[in-house]
Copies of this chain bind each other. A is one copy, B any other.
């Protein structure tokens, strides 16, 4: 008996597969030929360096070790302390920490300058804006990246010695990392505001919020911040621009101990209201946790793992595990996204903040498949959110089983950016981020998607090849 499938059509329509150049694909389509596109672009940078690094067994072994440490890292929030107590080595002199790679006062953008001035006023180092400017321009107050002290700060990311910081400890490797407490939205220091109400809030955070939260967290014996992040990734957060679930889980968990740690019920209520009023409250401990996770994989000789991506509003810098403390820097990008009513691209400061530590760790834009609602904030469609995550699997070394995405059948988030893959595929890691107004103190004016400059990765690849 003859099966129907045995009968093959004699004439078959022509079809084509187009690799790389779009020009050929379009020409064929105009002639009615169906075209399947393969997204491929020639590698960037020094091909010899790329070949050498790709062929190296040392790099493979180093990456395996770095990843093992990253996946084993288990950060807990263990305390809230004034920065000068939590990080005594950072504050042996008058100093302010800031987001991103190193930058001088002269080159700083508006929001970072505004925040530096605000921090000087808050610390009582200056009695007015002019005096603060002079101190900062004269070098009497040192400036250093947060990352140089295992700290991270969103937007301008200023940390001054009196500010309370979350102390996060990776109990597996013993590393401690730090982040400030989130001030909320509107006129806030991290966007460069330094008006009296901003300093007043910072004082309340230093005198009330920080100490009470510290007591509560110590009473609880610490909080599993990795577990909060993992749960929130199953609850529509991506832990960078959506922190509603993590903030709610944190508030719910900490509330009982907080009531027991406050001086009065009114104080407890005030603190709970402050936390409940800010959907981004948990961004900061998540950032310190991500920093702790990536720090575990840092300083493994020859590893091509990206352990830092950070921006100061002027430069974008990366650091790579096998290349130690060295920064590879390019210009900070402009963000494509949605603007709040009344603002547009002309108001936007270039990319700023240490919060890209989230993408470095495999969450944020890398985990958008689990946070489709975020497209209402940063633009695009839920399909785009899914696509961003899917694309990042090509750039990363592994999937983090601690951070699984139900929408991708519980697959772990794409984790561990490999500078080799970025150069080989000519494809950049995606970051979602808030847009700061370029004038200090106006605050957030939108949110969207941004990419690092390719040259950071090219330079790092050459340096790694040179080292081998």
State the CA gap A407–B266 with chains docked (Å).
41
Nearest chain-B residue to A408 (Cβ)?
A: B382
Tell me if A396 counts as interface (CB < 8 A to partner B).
Answer: no
State the CA gap A317–B255 with chains docked (Å).
41
Q: Do B260 and A269 have beta carbons less than 8 Å apart? A: yes
Binds B, one of A241-249, A336-344, A358-366, A456-464: A241-249
Chain B neighbourhood of A5, CB < 8 A: 13, 32-33
From B3, B249, B252, B409, give the contact of A32 (CB < 8 A).
Answer: B3
- Shortest A52–chain B CB gap in Å is 42
Interface majority SS (helix, strand, loop, mixed), chain A: helix
Chain B neighbourhood of A32, CB < 8 A: 3-6
Bitwise, A1-23 to B at CB < 8 A (1) or not (0) is 00111111111111000000000
Q: Do A259 and B235 have beta carbons less than 8 Å apart? A: no
- Shortest A241–chain B CB gap in Å is 14
Q: Do A259 and B269 have beta carbons less than 8 Å apart? A: yes
State the CA gap A229–B270 with chains docked (Å).
26
Q: Do B235 and A255 have beta carbons less than 8 Å apart? A: no
Given contacts A245-B245, A406-B373, contact A259 B256 (CB under 8 A): no
Chain B neighbourhood of A251, CB < 8 A: 248, 251-252, 255
From B9, B234, B407, give the contact of A9 (CB < 8 A).
Answer: B9
State the CA gap A12–B7 with chains docked (Å).
9
Chain B neighbourhood of A248, CB < 8 A: 245, 248-249, 251-252
Chain B neighbourhood of A270, CB < 8 A: 256
Bitwise, A260-274 to B at CB < 8 A (1) or not (0) is 101001101110110
State the CA gap A43–B215 with chains docked (Å).
65
State the CA gap A373–B409 with chains docked (Å).
9
Chain B neighbourhood of A375, CB < 8 A: 406
Chain B neighbourhood of A383, CB < 8 A: 409
Chain B neighbourhood of A249, CB < 8 A: 248
Nearest chain-B residue to A270 (Cβ)?
A: B256
Number of residues in A with C-beta < 8 Å to the partner?
54
Tell me if A25 counts as interface (CB < 8 A to partner B).
Answer: no
- Shortest A371–chain B CB gap in Å is 8
Q: Do B13 and A11 have beta carbons less than 8 Å apart? A: no
Chain B neighbourhood of A256, CB < 8 A: 269-270, 272-273, 276
- Shortest A340–chain B CB gap in Å is 20
Q: Do B3 and A13 have beta carbons less than 8 Å apart? A: no
From B3, B259, B275, give the contact of A272 (CB < 8 A).
Answer: B259
Tell me if A110 counts as interface (CB < 8 A to partner B).
Answer: no
From B244, B245, B247, B268, give the contact of A268 (CB < 8 A).
Answer: B268
Chain B neighbourhood of A268, CB < 8 A: 259, 265, 268
From B8, B13, B33, B407, give the contact of A382 (CB < 8 A).
Answer: B407
Tell me if A31 counts as interface (CB < 8 A to partner B).
Answer: yes
State the CA gap A248–B231 with chains docked (Å).
12
- Shortest A159–chain B CB gap in Å is 27
Q: Do A7 and B3 have beta carbons less than 8 Å apart? A: no
Tell me if A443 counts as interface (CB < 8 A to partner B).
Answer: no
State the CA gap A434–B40 with chains docked (Å).
49
State the CA gap A293–B260 with chains docked (Å).
39
Tell me if A253 counts as interface (CB < 8 A to partner B).
Answer: yes
Apart from A4-B32, A9-B12: 5 A-B pairs, beta carbons within 8 A = A4-B31, A10-B11, A245-B248, A255-B272, A372-B406
A-B contact pairs, 13 of them (CB 8 A): A4-B13, A9-B9, A234-B236, A235-B235, A236-B245, A245-B245, A253-B276, A255-B269, A259-B259, A260-B266, A262-B265, A373-B406, A407-B407
**Shortest 8 CB-CB contacts between residues of A and residues of B:** A372-B406, A5-B32, A248-B248, A3-B32, A9-B9, A373-B406, A251-B252, A256-B269
